[in-house]
Structure formats: C-alpha cells, structure tokens
C-alpha cells in the first residue's frame, strides 16, 4: 500500500471513531443533538481531507454502525436514510473540493454548500422510499422541517466549524490548500 492510502484509511477510521463518540456530547438532550447534527462533521471532514471515496464509505457506514452499537439512531428508517444522506455529503464535498482548481476557502464553501443541498435531497428521497415501503407517507412539510428548519443550528455550526478546522489544518501544514499550477507557455 502507498503511504497516502494508509494515511487515508487511518484518518477514515479516526473519523468513524469521532462520529461514534461526538453525538454523546449532545446525546443527553436529543433535541439539541438533532439540531446540531454532530455525526455530519466527521463525514464532511473525511470527504474534504481524504477524498470522495473515503467520504462515501465513512458517511454510509457511520450511522448504521452507530445504530448497531448504541441503538441510536433507530436503524429503520432513520439510520438507513442517514446512511444515504451522509454518503452523499462525503461524495459531493470530497469530489467537488478535490476537483477544484484552487483548494481554498471559497472552494471549500462551494463544496460544503453543494454537499449540504445534495445530501438533504438524497435524505428526502430515501425517506420517501423507506416510509413508502412501510406504508407511511413522507410529506413536503416533513421534508422542510427535517432537512431545513430543524437543522438550521447544525447548518450554521458546519458552515463555521468546517472551514475553521480546514484553515487550522492549512496553517499547521497538515492539509495545505493548493493552487492550480501555472500553465507553461512555450514561445516559438
């Protein structure tokens, strides 16, 4: 294995561990935990730092693993829908940021916001399918409440915390921002 692959696997395992433990900080008050979205943070960071492949894996595994180990979130339909949502976060954030011409704060915000929007759409689609299989309906009001209104504190936290962590990692040199290489123009 290459050094980078070992590093990414190790970091992915660390992000899974953080994602398993972080909800305990808000778990005593479920309403706060549901609003702050603590499991989303390590998934975003994994996608941004390790790339989209690792972000997808961590995003999909984390809610299912946490459900199996701790019983929270409930496996059906919440953890299953979250698995698809968080896999979308890891994929979109990692893919867009990794393909950015410049990896800077602007590219970071673009990737995060696009991932947030796509992940919530995936979550809504998963809820429609899962609740439809169970004989229930997933209404537009449930989508707006679950994806936007109840999540506003978590969205704000992510928009502040994720760039702050990435800036800190850039300053320490652990995960440096990158600029596009200048094109070499040959003169005849």
Asked if residue 186 belongs to a domain, the reply is no
- Give the pLDDT of residue 22: 92
- Cα 85 to chain center, whole Å? 8
Asked if residue 178 belongs to a domain, the reply is no
Asked if residue 36 belongs to a domain, the reply is yes
- Give the pLDDT of residue 66: 96
Asked if residue 188 belongs to a domain, the reply is no
Residues of the chain short of pLDDT 70, as ranges, are 28, 30, 180-188
Domain count, the chain: 1
- Give the pLDDT of residue 19: 96
DSSP 148-175: IITTHHHHHHHHHHHHHHHHHHHHHTSS
- Domain residue limits at 116: 3-172
- Record the pTM: 0.90
Asked if residue 181 belongs to a domain, the reply is no
Residues ≥6 apart with Cβ < 8 Å to 137: 131
Asked if residue 179 belongs to a domain, the reply is no
Asked if residue 182 belongs to a domain, the reply is no
Asked if residue 187 belongs to a domain, the reply is no
- Give the pLDDT of residue 186: 54
What tens digit of pLDDT does each residue of 5-41 get?
999 999 999 999 999 999 988 876 767 777 888 999 9
Q: What is the CATH number of the domain that holds 10?
A: 1.10.1760.20
């Amino acid at each position: 294995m290459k050094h980078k692959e070992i590093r990414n696997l190790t970091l992915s395992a660390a992000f899974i561990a953080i994602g398993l433990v972080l909800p305990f900080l808000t778990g005593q008050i479920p309403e706060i935990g549901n609003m702050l979205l603590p499991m989303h943070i390590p998934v975003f960071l994994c996608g941004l730092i390790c790339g989209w492949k690792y972000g997808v894996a961590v995003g999909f595994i984390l809610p299912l693993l946490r459900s199996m180990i701790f019983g929270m979130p409930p496996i059906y339909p919440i953890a299953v829908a979250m698995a698809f949502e968080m896999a979308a976060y890891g994929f979109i954030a990692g893919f867009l940021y990794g393909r950015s011409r410049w990896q800077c704060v602007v590219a970071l915000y673009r990737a995060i916001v696009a991932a947030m929007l796509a992940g919530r759409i995936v979550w809504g689609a998963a809820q429609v399918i899962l609740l439809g299989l169970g004989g229930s309906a997933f209404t537009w009001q449930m989508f707006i409440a679950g994806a936007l209104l109840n999540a506003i504190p978590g969205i704000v936290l992510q928009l502040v915390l994720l760039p702050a962590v990435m800036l800190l990692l850039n300053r320490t040199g652990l995960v440096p921002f990158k600029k596009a290489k200048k094109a070499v123009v040959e003169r005849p």
